[in-house]
Amino acid sequence: MTTNPDGDLSDRSEFPRQDYNAYIRRVVGKGMEFWRSRRLERIPAGHMGLNFAVGQQNWREASQNGVGNFNWPFNIVDVDGNQILDNTDLLIYNGRPIDPTAPGVLAALPRRRFINATNEGIAPPQMKFLTFTPSRGLILRRFASWAWMTFLFVAGTVEDKLRRQDNIARRAQRMRQILSRGGGSAVKIGQHLAHRLDMMPWVLATELSQLVDVVPPFPFDQAQSIIEGTIGQPIQEIFQRFDPEPILATTIQNMYQARLMNGSMVVVKVRRPGAGELIMADLSVIEWSLNTLEWLTILRHGSTRGIRSGLRQTLLEEFNFTQEARHQDLFRRAAKQSGKRFFTSPRIHFHLSGKELVVDEFVGGMWLWELLAAMERKDAARLQQARELEIDPAKVARRLLWVNTWGWNESLFFYSNPQPDNIIVTRGSKLIFTEFSSVSAVDRSKRRTLRRNMDSMIKQDALDMARASLTLLEPLPPINLSEFIKELEGHNWQLLYMLANRNAYSNWTDLTMATQWKGLIEVCSKYDVVIDLQILRLLRSMMLFEGMAVRLDRSLDILEEYRKYDDHRATRARIRITTLVEERLHDGGDNRDFLALEWTANIAEGLFHRIRQFASTPSVSFNTLMSKWSFAFFMLIKFLYQVILLTGFGLGIALLTQLLFNDGSINWKTALEGVLTNRIYQFAILFLIFVNGRSTLFRMDDKEV
């Protein structure tokens, strides 16, 4: 046995065991020193996973024994004396073990042992869409209920016509009463129909907005089961006190008050079991009915698509408790970042909330509807209570307008359902916003449009107000823009006249921008311009905010309040820009300045491209539209195709009848005459003429540009 100066073995079979162990320790020590020089010293020695093929057997014996464990006891330690390896497996290359001490290239090196784990059964989280599947029996029961409500409405209208008392106001009142008797889901649908100011007459929308969603509560046992199932603990371990009597019960939820173990008061909202399926059954009935009316051409094809999709979207939003909790938390954070401390939302306890349960902070104070009622009825007791809470109605009014403008101007989203029963006024006239199931957002171009509209209103420029309104309606269908803008300008002048001639006897609706937005909706309905659902929500939200503010303080000037907000916004912008410039001058700038320059260059390039595209493209593209006579020709071809199919179907039945009852003989002429003289066939032809003719007349009534 001999060794070279580097410690390589020339005859390993005769190498003493003690020298062999010393060699292994020396090799491992050098490896550990190398790793530490590469900044791996923070890895524990026991996790280094050094793996050597060591043993007392020679190569021939190892090859004969194959892969396996060597029973020769040994311990490999690092330079600090920590055990690294004990009785390891052989390293194998091409089916043969590798000797770490043998000279040459193929030898074992230190390595880290990997964790034996796989990705089996692990999938990225998927986006969950809230859906409910009603049974066919439930759909049939709801169809019968809606059919009965329709019958009551039609019968009442016919009776009014016979008495010559029929008008839109009486119809609206009758519809509200019928929906109110129809139950919670009918009331909820009526409330959302009131939001569609573009499709509902103003009187009808105003009447339906008075519907109140208050229903008997569902049993507390079901609520307790949902609470414990969501949180995963018994209710006794979560709450110190829990009032089983709901403070409010609606179609969607029961609301309870409770006290947590830490003593803080909370509001517990539990989703009503089966409410989602009930609403979806009602939506299925409504969608089927509207589709049938479109197919019969009683309504224009596609005219109800917007109201159907919008109704489904807004109703499902109210059932999404997880989304509601996130919106409420985002609003709370955004209110804090705004620099104002007079508005916020209750804090959400996310660790206690889920898809069927929301637990948020309990807030005491006066509901805004209580304050409004006290002001309008001169209720001395309520007004005294407000004074004790240091609530100033005029201050509340100004703060409502500020939150309204901040919502569509700066916030990520605006509060689209500012009902008086969703806002609490606490001590010091602080506003607490609740119920965030319905929020919306508008892009920057729409925000700039609204600011331009307000600036034009201050300048009393009715024409520019009308032009700004067009941006809210983009993309526009082919209409006569001159007439469209002229009618909008007329409504805007009416608004400016009312604001300029305000007095103590003015109606509160004349002191808001409701005249402009009401006129915009009426003109869009006249020209068949579809208003986006988010814009409708924005207009309704603005009218509600302004209406509540003016009802609290008749001397309030909405234009003056906007000027104050604009001054505040300008002050904050000046501070931000001044601070940024001072930092750049002091620090000498950094690489982000070059990114800003690149961003500016990209904007300029995009603007140039848009200008060039606008200059080379006509204002209205006729290629995407079918002319009236082309449409009429298309409907004629469609009608002939339907007649051929209907005639062929009838002829097939007639020939089959001859084969079965005339001893197998066929007479084509007799069969065709029988089809053409059949009353059912003639009625079907008349029905096809009616349907296709109505569709053609709808298209002929469209305006050409």
Rounded average pLDDT over 27-32:
62
Question: Which amino acid appears at position 488 of this protein?
Answer: L
For residue range 268-305, what is the model confidence (pLDDT) as tens digits?
999 999 988 999 999 999 889 888 888 887 877 777 88
Q: Token digits for 432?
A: 């607490």
The pLDDT of residue 112: 61
Spatial distance between the Cα atoms of 434 and 418, rounded to a whole number of angstroms: 9
CB atoms under 10 Å from CB of 177, counted, come to 15
Comparing C-alpha atoms, which of 277, 280, 236 is closest to residue 259? 236
Domain range summary for the chain, segments of one domain joined by +: 12-98, 136-213+276-317, 442-556, 573-616, 628-700
Comparing C-alpha atoms, which of 325, 342, 435, 356 is closest to residue 391? 342
In angstroms, what CA-CA distances link 501 with 495, 511, 555, 558? 10, 10, 13, 14
- Residue 360 in contact with residue 270, Cβ under 8 Å? no
Percent of the chain's residues with pLDDT above 70? 74
The pLDDT of residue 431: 95
In angstroms, what CA-CA distances link 344 with 200, 367, 389? 33, 15, 18
Q: Which long-range contacts (CB under 8 A, 24 or more apart) does 209-215 make?
A: 210/176, 211/176, 211/179, 211/180, 211/187, 212/180, 212/187, 213/184, 213/187, 213/188, 213/250, 213/251, 214/248, 214/249, 214/250, 215/183, 215/184, 215/187, 215/249, 215/250, 215/251
Name residue 360's beta-bridge partners. 267, 348
In angstroms, what CA-CA distances link 534 with 16, 93, 522? 86, 67, 17
Q: What is the residue whose two structure tokens read 């603005």?
A: 542
The pLDDT of residue 198: 72
- Crossing angle of helices 628-661 and 679-700, in 10° steps, is 170
Q: Check whether 441 has a pLDDT greater than 80.
A: yes
For residue range 570-614, what is the model confidence (pLDDT) as tens digits?
888 888 778 877 776 666 666 666 666 667 767 776 666 556 555
Question: Which H, E and C letters describe 450-469, residue by residue?
Answer: HHHHHHHHHCCCHHHHHHHH
Question: Which amino acid appears at position 233 of this protein?
Answer: Q
Highest mean pLDDT of the ranges 412-416, 522-526, 548-552: 548-552
Q: Check whether 433 has a pLDDT greater than 90.
A: yes
Q: Check whether 523 has a pLDDT greater than 80.
A: yes
Rounded average pLDDT over 209-216:
83
Spatial distance between the Cα atoms of 658 and 638, rounded to a whole number of angstroms: 30
Rounded average pLDDT over 641-649:
86
DSSP per-residue letters across 62-117: HHHH-S-B-----EEE-TTS-EEEESPBPEEETTEEE-TTSSSS------PPPP--
The pLDDT of residue 694: 77
List, in order, residues 6 or more apart from 292 with CB less than 8 Å away.
none
The pLDDT of residue 701: 64
Q: What are phi and psi of 54, to 5 degrees?
A: -125, 155
What is the model's pTM? Answer: 0.70
Comparing C-alpha atoms, which of 94, 82, 86 is closest to residue 29? 82
Comparing C-alpha atoms, which of 100, 84, 78 is closest to residue 47? 84
Tell me whether strands 343-344 and 430-433 are parallel, antiparallel or unpaired: parallel
Comparing C-alpha atoms, which of 441, 446, 444 is closest to residue 407? 441
The pLDDT of residue 611: 62
SS3 246: coil
The pLDDT of residue 618: 41
> Before 475, cis peptide (omega within 30)?
yes
CA angle at 68 for the pair 66 and 71, rounded to the nearest 5°: 120
**HSE-CB for 609 with a 13 A CA cutoff:** 6
Task: State the pLDDT confidence band at 400, using cuts at 50, 70 and 90.
Answer: very high
What is the greatest pairwise CA distance in the chain?
Answer: 126
For residue range 222-269, what is the model confidence (pLDDT) as tens digits?
999 999 999 999 999 999 999 999 998 988 999 999 999 999 999 999
- Residue 399 in contact with residue 429, Cβ under 8 Å? yes
Comparing C-alpha atoms, which of 169, 248, 157, 249 is closest to residue 210? 169
The pLDDT of residue 211: 82
The pLDDT of residue 215: 85
Quick one: CA dihedral 597, 598, 603, 609, positive or negative? positive
- Residue 433 in contact with residue 422, Cβ under 8 Å? yes
Q: What is the residue whose two structure tokens read 């916030």?
A: 411
Highest mean pLDDT of the ranges 100-104, 212-216, 630-634: 212-216
The pLDDT of residue 69: 38
For residue range 329-386, what is the model confidence (pLDDT) as tens digits?
999 999 998 888 999 999 999 999 988 999 999 998 999 999 999 998 888 999 999 9
Average pLDDT score over the chain:
79
DSSP per-residue letters across 586-612: HHT--HHHHHHHHHHHHHHHHHHHHHH
Buried/exposed 511-524: b ≥16 CB within 10 Å, e otherwise:
bbbbbbbbbbbbbb
Spatial distance between the Cα atoms of 409 and 401, rounded to a whole number of angstroms: 12
The pLDDT of residue 501: 86
Spatial distance between the Cα atoms of 350 and 355, rounded to a whole number of angstroms: 11
Q: What are phi and psi of 349, to 5 degrees?
A: -95, 90
For residue range 41-70, what is the model confidence (pLDDT) as tens digits?
333 433 333 333 333 344 334 444 443 333
Q: Token digits for 502?
A: 């305000």
The pLDDT of residue 646: 86
| Strand segments (E) across 400-543 | 414-415, 423-426, 430-433, 439-440
Rounded average pLDDT over 134-161:
91
CB atoms under 10 Å from CB of 462, counted, come to 21
Residue 297 class from Cβ within 10 Å (0-12 exposed, 13-18 middle, 19+ buried)? middle
Comparing C-alpha atoms, which of 346, 499, 513 is closest to residue 433? 346
